[in-house]
Amino acid sequence: MARKHTDVMCEENMKKNEKDIWFPAKKYGFGWSLPVKWQGWIVVLVYTLLIAAGIVFIDYSENKMLFYVYCSIPTIILILICWKKGEAAKWRWGNKE
């Protein structure tokens, strides 16, 4: 059975970018798994520290909107880094084999 062009392109991109991937795709669902490179772990650590700083320094009971805006900025940056340095985001449901 002939392979689809997109499957071939995806395979070639994976081989080409395999060394550059910090966040592998999740096996089930949409998104990324835990980092596989030290750079990815640094990104996760910085993200965690930024969120923790927001929890400590922003009084949630008085400034809910400020807290939401503050937390959304590092979260958006994390998603963009995962999108750039991770495997292609698509819905997955285990191995296709």
Q: Each residue of 17-45: pLDDT tens digit? A: 556 899 998 888 888 989 999 999 999 99
Query: Which pLDDT does position 64 carry in this prediction?
Result: 94
* Cross-strand pairs, 50: none
Beta strands in 1-97 (DSSP E): 28-29, 92-93
- pLDDT value of position 43: 96
Average pLDDT for residues 59-65, to the nearest whole number?
92
Parse the chain into domains and list their residue ranges.
Answer: 37-84
